Amino acid sequence: MIIAINKQIVGVVRIGVKSYDSKVVVSGNIVEIYEYEHSIITGFSNNKSRGVGRSSVATDDDKKRNRELVLNRARRDLRRLINSNIHMYGVKSKFVTLTFADNITDIKKANYEFKKFKQRLETYFDFRLKYTCVIEFQKRGAIHYHVVFFNMPYIKKSKLAQIWGNGFIKVNNIDNVDNVGAYVCKYMSKNFIDDERLRGHKCYFSSRNLYKPIEVKDKKRVKNIIDSLPSSSLTYCNMFENEYNNTLYKQYNLNIEKSKQEVRYL
């Protein structure tokens, strides 16, 4: 009997098993609430999956769905990272678009030029810059960059263009944008899914030592945070359902004034 039971549980390792039924993710002034119908269990490791090859070959549809999941996850992570760092360094953050005068379509070459530009800019200011950078492809296939500089002081546009030295620049006004992370993520288009040039490359990259979003799962702390949020800052509310769980998702934007508030229920 003991042997039979051991065979049923072989491969499952219990490592500090924990559970939670809600969590909060704080990214600057954007607060996300997840409330689950069924508790989320963590701390299990399945040894059976280790060292074992795939039992089936992924189809093209499977690969495309996986790329869509990866892109959506990248958008979420980028949105949170930007919102965790926007206006956190004593100066206004700047949103800059960098384009090439030449029709550069090779990512390695373009990334090399961006790296050299960053080094020249840091030499000019004499300190390390904090930033995130999103790659976008123009219709003609050319690469350009959308960069949020979190700690860059004021610099004349002409001087910035001179330091870039590869083409044109555009400084975008984000002073009145209440969710900069979501605003920048719109440039991560669905074309990323099918563009072969991005295989093996990141669709965005960032400097080191940026502030990270804060995730809270402790039941008491989650409740305290939820209770402290003004109802007027709720901007989005939706129920997500799948075969495993139902999740009530809410997003609060503390940047938005009550008089300008509009809640979307989907």
Residue pLDDT, tens place only, 166-213: 999 999 999 889 999 999 998 876 555 556 666 666 788 999 999 999
Q: Where are the domains of the chain?
A: 84-206
Helical residues (DSSP H) of the chain, grouped into ranges: 2-9, 60-85, 107-125, 157-164, 180-185, 191-194, 219-228
Listed in sequence order, the residues at least 6 apart from 247 whose beta carbon sits closer than 8 Å to its beta carbon are 34, 35, 36, 37, 239, 240, 241
| 3-class DSSP assignment, residue 125 | helix
* 59 secondary structure, DSSP code: P
Residue pLDDT, tens place only, 123-175: 999 999 999 999 988 777 789 999 999 999 999 999 999 999 999 999 999 98
CA distance 101 to 135: 16
Percent of the chain with pLDDT over 70: 79
* 176 secondary structure, DSSP code: T
Residue pLDDT, tens place only, 42-64: 876 655 545 444 555 778 677 76
CA distance 179 to 185: 10
What integer pLDDT is reported at residue 265 of this predicted model?
Answer: 46
| 3-class DSSP assignment, residue 43 | strand
What integer pLDDT is reported at residue 199 of this predicted model?
Answer: 66
Task: Decide the pairing of beta strands 143-149 and 204-206.
Answer: unpaired
Could you tell me which CATH class the domain 84-206 is placed in?
alpha beta
Cα 87 vs. chain centroid, distance in angstroms? 17
